Amino acid sequence: MVDDQPVQPAPQLEPASRRFEFSVRVPPEMLRRASTYFMWRRLKVPYILGWVATGLGFAVYRSFDLGLLTTAVGVLSLALLLLLVLLPLAIWSAIKQTLKGYAAITGGEPVAYTVDDQWLQSRCANGAGELRWSRFAEVIKTDEVWLLSMATEQRFIPLPARQVPQDALLFIDAEIAAHGTR
């Protein structure tokens, strides 16, 4: 028997959207450790290079007599030294503000997350929000916590690794790798 109707191609189904829902509670000490790690990870190389430059500057100042140039190098080295001494205080202050801000946003309650192939959505005691995966730059992983680092801001979202399902962590990592910006 011959069928006179044209053969229709099978409809192309879009891949099923994966969706995960979970809640996390980030204790203040964990957030403090994560914030410290995040800040020093960002500033470690410039900080070390700053100390090297300061040392070289003072060595040039003490070793050579080039008149005004030597004085300028000495003044710049002293200014850099002052900056390097104050930087840990600034980092400590930023970490303190992070802890205070996170507590104000969450109210000390768990944060509920929903992730799918488009968004990371969060709900907590004092509000809700959603971010596209393209807003993230990278996932910074430690044994204790994964930090979802923002692309355009020096901020992150902490996800305690033991509180998030392993499939959700792998999914988040893949989405940020695929869509995130550096």
Q: What residue spans define the domains of the chain?
A: 20-179
What does the pLDDT read at residue 75? 87
The sign of the CA dihedral 166, 170, 173, 179 is negative
What does the pLDDT read at residue 36? 92
What does the pLDDT read at residue 10? 47
What does the pLDDT read at residue 42? 84
Per-residue pLDDT of the chain (182 residues; tens, 9 = 90+): 445 555 555 444 445 468 999 999 999 999 999 999 998 888 888 888 888 888 888 888 888 877 877 888 888 888 888 888 898 999 899 899 999 999 998 988 999 999 999 899 999 988 899 999 999 999 999 999 999 999 887 889 999 999 999 999 999 999 999 887 76
